[in-house]
Structure formats: structure tokens, C-alpha cells
Amino acid sequence: MRQQIPVKRSNPALKTRLLSTIRTYLPGAWIDPKQNELVALYRLRYKMAMEEQKFDTAMIFLNKILELEPRNVEAKLCKAEIYHRCLKDYSRAIEQYNKVIRLTSDRQEEPVHLRARAAMAEIMEMLS
């Protein structure tokens, strides 16, 4: 038979010591990350998934970025490029490229806008 160790659960000093020990050995477990930290983490995880060619996982992290920042045009452009270049789903790629173009219509000289327009032209030429 296994020997049972008696545990006194009602001792507040023991509970405080336990929590203190957990906080010491798991320092990040008790901190709520800020939005910009989460976006940076999701961006890193997206890049890792792309390196491993796990496109569905990459899309999940792009969607998480867009949940936090719905107008993030870089994330929308990355989604469009995955649909276009990796998944060959041209209708969804066109939809995402259009969103990027609409969101950056007032900044037509930005690289994001120019990349979206060039990719759209490439898709239209391919489909014609």
C-alpha cells in the first residue's frame, strides 16, 4: 500500500508559502500579458508555423492577431499570401487582398498596399 502523507489544507501560512514557492519557480504564470506582447508572441508563433509549413496553424495565429487588432493590415496581407501562394485558394486570397487594399487606400505608396495590388494583378493575370 502507498503511504499517505497528511496534508493540512486549512493552514493559511502553509498556503501562503506554497503560493510564494510557485511564484518563485513559475514567475511568468501570474502575469497577464499586455496586448502588444500577445501580438508579438502570436507573430513569432506564426513565423514558426510558416517555417514548418503548418499553414493551418499559421492562420490560427494570424486570426488571433486580428482578434486583438482587427485593422492590422500586415496580418491580413499574410493571410492573403497564405491563401494565394500556399493553399492556392484564389477566391479567399482575392477577398483578403481586397481588404488590405481598402484599408490602405489612403496610403497607396505603402509597401503593404503595393504588395497587395501586385499580388492581385498576378492572380487576375493567372486566372484570365
The average pLDDT across 94-114 equals 95
CATH of the domain at 100: 1.25.40.10
Residue 91's pLDDT is 96
DSSP characters over 5-68 = PP--TT-HHHHHHHHHHHHHHSGGGG-PPPHHHHHHHHHHHHHHHHHTT-HHHHHHHHHHHHHH
Domains identified in the chain, total number: 1
The average pLDDT across 5-34 equals 67
pLDDT tens-place string over residues 55-91 = 999 999 999 999 999 999 999 999 999 999 999 999 9
In a domain, 24, yes or no: no
Q: Are 59 and 79 in contact (CB under 8 A)?
A: yes
Q: What is the extent of the structural domain holding 92?
A: 33-127
In a domain, 79, yes or no: yes
In a domain, 14, yes or no: no
Residue 63's pLDDT is 97
In a domain, 62, yes or no: yes
In a domain, 8, yes or no: no
In a domain, 26, yes or no: no
pLDDT tens-place string over residues 20-59 = 776 677 666 656 778 999 999 999 999 999 999 999 999 9
Q: Read off the amino acid at residue 82.
A: I
Residue 28's pLDDT is 63
In a domain, 106, yes or no: yes
Residue 104's pLDDT is 95
Residue 17's pLDDT is 74
In a domain, 13, yes or no: no
